[in-house]
Structure 1
Amino acid sequence: MTEVRHTPVAPTRTQRLASGAEIDAHRHDDHQIVYAGRGVLSVTTSAGSWVAPANRAIWVPADTVHAHQAHGDLELHLVGLPARENPLCLDAPTVLSVSPLLRELIIAYTRTEDDDSPERTRLRAVLLDRLRISVQQPLHLPTPSNPLLGTVCDLLRADPSDNRTLAELGREVGASDRTLSRLFNKDLGMTFPQWRTQLRLHHALVLLAERTPVTKVANQCGWSSTSAFIDVFRRAFGHTPGTHSR
């Protein structure tokens, strides 16, 4: 990321982004909650990427350099919070579960950005109360710092349907599967199958936001069958992928 823009105050507002639109790398002195009421949002930092469909939000801590990208027509809701106010005590970007009530609170709060009325103050208090009990979701796709591991991850990013084993990928980059397995755990904090599944889920969300049929998504993301894809997707997100095509 280059030419990082510094916006001291994280805005609280609603805005719309066309599919594929990006907000370039920037940082705030405040924390920010980023939520897509429609479409799928990805947030990228030097440490990796986070993706959130409509039942998830992304917590971005103060002073984190990050960029946004819209997948599908995006209705973006931003909630800025002072650096001193961290209801979940989080110091890294995190995906949070958004209940139906929290969703409505975020939407209502971000549509009245300049209103300091007592009603809006109470709305904010309830929003923070619901945020404090939000469940954190493991939807982070970390970026490797090791160059060798980066080459392997780039191969899979280029084609998430690539079903080669770690040993087969290792032969292409000149490393043993044992070495690569150790690097996945040490550098990324997860196993090779875990990282590849996260990559495929991220890619699936993007394709679904672009109205790609579920069967085609399963195939392009490397699942052995549509039913296997639906099962993994439901366990990760709490609903079937067909929800995104409505």
Structure 2
Amino acid sequence: MMKSLIASHRGGTLLWGENSRRAFENTLKLPVELVEFDVHPTKDGVLVVHHDATLDRTTNMTGPVNDITWQELSQGSVNYSGGQRIMTLRELCELYRNSDIQLRLEIKGDINKVPYPNIVAQVLSELEETGMKEKCIISSFNCEVLAEVASKAPKMFTIWLVARNMPSLLGAEKVAQIAMDTKVNEVSVHVSQIMEETQQAVKASHLEYGCYGAHNEADINKALALGMYAFTTDRPDLALLLRNQFMLRTQ
């Protein structure tokens, strides 16, 4: 059986504070395959590593990320980080330059979930400039964003993050068809929405099938048992332990 790939979600949210430098530095020490994170642009176009479109939930600042300049943003701090500021995408690329861990970059939308103007070109340009384009995969919930990535960087591995209720609403064949039309490489559903028929349809389309949101023992074991290609987790340490146990049981 193929070994499911583990993505440290936002650097290991439940361990070190999401999308913090401390989280990314600690993830570097783990034998995971992927580190997952999100990007938004500041008002002056600096790509920063942050999940929400607003700063309120995870920093000591407020308001939309793209309403504030990088100079202003850099004065704040990320919650549970020990006072560390938000990282830029460029800084994260430099941090992982010599690691075997691949970057799993999610392109986010604005406060209305609308893609930022020119965001795909900006992300690809930054990855190119930092020499990390070959070590990065792109994920998004937005199929238009993913289709643009496919057109601009056809060799880049991409992941369609399927909204939580979509697999059951659309049906397996429709999910697979959208994925093929969008030219993604992997379909990733919420761990609660893993369905055998969707998995079969996706695999029959020669695409990978993964999941996100596997943050506890039961969900991690579910992802492993059902043969997910890759999964994201807030507990990469626990996922590694459970994967080792699973591999020993199934050898």
TM-score by length of 1: 0.31
TM-score by length of 2: 0.31
Bigger RCO (CA 8 Å, 6+ sep): 2
More strand by percentage: 1
